[in-house]
Amino acid sequence: MRRGIVPAALWEAIDAYRAGLAAASPAELAGGGDVGYYSRQAALETAIARRMAARAAASIHCGLLAGATLAQIADAAGVSSAEAAACWQAWADGQRHLGQRCPGLGVSEREYQRAAAVVAAGAAAGSLPGSGHAGGVMRIGSPHS
């Protein structure tokens, strides 16, 4: 399996989660296991969800810089444009601050402004309020999907 740019800690959590499932008894898989099994699996699932949410935000940023519109990103992620914009904004603001404090890390001001312009164009085109997907779909950044 190609690991790419996803942090190693994510792959370690996924591997541990898979190992837990592979070693699980039929009772554990059917809901009749013990506290230790479910606590461990819940901890791993939460860690994986959080890391994937951060990775999704970074992918939104890269997609915007690659030429995707906000609506295209939202459609691909199965969320509304407003959700995609909010996910990007929360992540990008932190990365921008990191880049200002530690040059070479985070995102540069130029990169931030390029992506922000795409998000703003999506808002100007009317793609933010109430657009895209709604209801009980996966939410970027939510471990409660």
Render pLDDT for 43-76 as a digit per residue (tens, 0 to 9). Answer: 889 889 988 988 999 999 999 999 999 999 999 9
pLDDT of residue 125: 79
Number of domains in the chain: 1
Q: For residue 121, what are its two tokens?
A: 């164009």
> First-to-last CA distance in the chain?
25
Under-70 pLDDT residues of the chain: 1-8, 126-145
Residue 137 domain-assigned (yes or no): no
The pTM (predicted TM-score) of the whole model is 0.70
Residue 94 domain-assigned (yes or no): yes
CA distances from 137 to 25, 74, 86, 119 (A): 31, 12, 16, 22
pLDDT of residue 72: 95
Residue 141 domain-assigned (yes or no): no
Residue 114 domain-assigned (yes or no): yes
Q: Are residues 117 and 28 in contact, defined by beta-carbon separation less than 8 angstroms?
A: no
User: What residue numbers bound the domain in which 106 lies?
Assistant: 8-124
Rounded CA-CA distance 72/43 in Å is 33
Rounded CA-CA distance 30/52 in Å is 26
Q: Are residues 71 and 81 in contact, defined by beta-carbon separation less than 8 angstroms?
A: yes
Residue owning tokens 């209801």? 135
Residue 71 domain-assigned (yes or no): yes
Residue 2 domain-assigned (yes or no): no
Residue 130 domain-assigned (yes or no): no
Residue 120 domain-assigned (yes or no): yes
pLDDT of residue 43: 87
**Residue 122 CA, distance from chain mean position:** 20
